[in-house]
A and B are shown apart, each in its own frame.
Chain A
Amino acid sequence: MTGKDGDLDARIATLLADPQYEGHPLREALDALRVRMACQLARIEKITAVSDGFQMMARHRELSMAEQFDRQLKRLSKIVAISDRYQEVLRDQNQAVIDASYHDALTELLNRRGLSERLRERCDLAVREARGFCVAMVDVDHFKQVNDTYGHQAGDRALVALGRVMTTELPEYGFCGRWGGEEFVIVLEDPDLLAARATLERLLAAIRDMRVPVGDSSLALTVSVGVAQHKPGEALALTLNRADIALYDAKQSGRNSLGLERQQT
Chain B
Amino acid sequence: MSENLSMNDLSIAGTPSTPAISTDAASGVLSLSGDSYPENSFELFGPVITWVENYLSETDAPLRLELELLYLNTSSVKAVMEIFDTLEAAHARGRDVSVNWYFDQNNERVGELAEEFKEDCTFPFAVIGRP
Q: Which residues of A contact B (CB under 8 A)?
A: 75, 78-83, 85-86, 89-90
Nearest B residue to A76, CB-CB? B78
Please tell me which stretch of B2-10, B41-49, B66-74 contacts chain A, meaning at least 4 of its Cβ atoms lie within 8 angstroms of it: B66-74
Known: A83-B74, A86-B71, A90-B71. A78 touches B113 (CB 8 A): no
Which residues of B in the span 60-93 have a Cβ within 8 Å of any Cβ on A? 71-74, 77-78, 81
Q: Flag whether B116 is at the interface (Cβ < 8 A).
A: yes
Residues of B within 8 A of A80 (CB): 74
Contact A81 B78 (CB under 8 A): no
Known: A78-B120, A81-B116. A86 touches B73 (CB 8 A): yes
Residues of A within 8 A of B78 (CB): 79
CB<8 Å pairs between A and B, sample of 21: A78-B119, A78-B120, A79-B74, A79-B77, A79-B81, A82-B77, A82-B117, A83-B72, A83-B73, A83-B74, A83-B77, A85-B112, A85-B113, A85-B116, A86-B71, A86-B77, A86-B113, A89-B71, A89-B109, A89-B110, A89-B113
**How many angstroms from the CA of A166 to the CA of B110 in the assembled complex?**
38
Contact A82 B113 (CB under 8 A): yes
**How many angstroms from the CA of A81 to the CA of B116 in the assembled complex?**
9
Residues of B within 8 A of A78 (CB): 81, 116, 119-120
Grouping DSSP codes into helix (H, G, I), strand (E, B) and loop, the A interface class, with mixed when no group exceeds half, is helix
Q: Which residues of B contact A (CB under 8 A)?
A: 71-74, 77-78, 81, 109-110, 112-113, 116-117, 119-120
Residues of A within 8 A of B117 (CB): 82
Residues of A within 8 A of B110 (CB): 89
Give the distance to chain A from B83, nearest Cβ to Cβ, in Å: 13
Residues of A within 8 A of B119 (CB): 78
**How many angstroms from the CA of A89 to the CA of B112 in the assembled complex?**
11
Give the distance to chain B from A151, nearest Cβ to Cβ, in Å: 32
Nearest A residue to B80, CB-CB? A82
Contact A75 B81 (CB under 8 A): yes
Nearest A residue to B72, CB-CB? A86
Residues of A within 8 A of B112 (CB): 85
Residues of A within 8 A of B116 (CB): 78, 81-82, 85
Nearest B residue to A80, CB-CB? B74
Give the distance to chain A from B124, nearest Cβ to Cβ, in Å: 20
Nearest A residue to B82, CB-CB? A75
**How many angstroms from the CA of A78 to the CA of B78 in the assembled complex?**
9
Residues of B within 8 A of A81 (CB): 116
**How many angstroms from the CA of A16 to the CA of B77 in the assembled complex?**
80
Nearest B residue to A83, CB-CB? B74
**How many angstroms from the CA of A79 to the CA of B117 in the assembled complex?**
9
Residues of B within 8 A of A89 (CB): 71, 109-110, 113
Residues of B within 8 A of A85 (CB): 109, 112-113, 116
**How many angstroms from the CA of A78 to the CA of B84 in the assembled complex?**
13
Residues of A within 8 A of B109 (CB): 85, 89
Residues of A within 8 A of B71 (CB): 86, 89-90
Residues of A within 8 A of B72 (CB): 82-83, 86
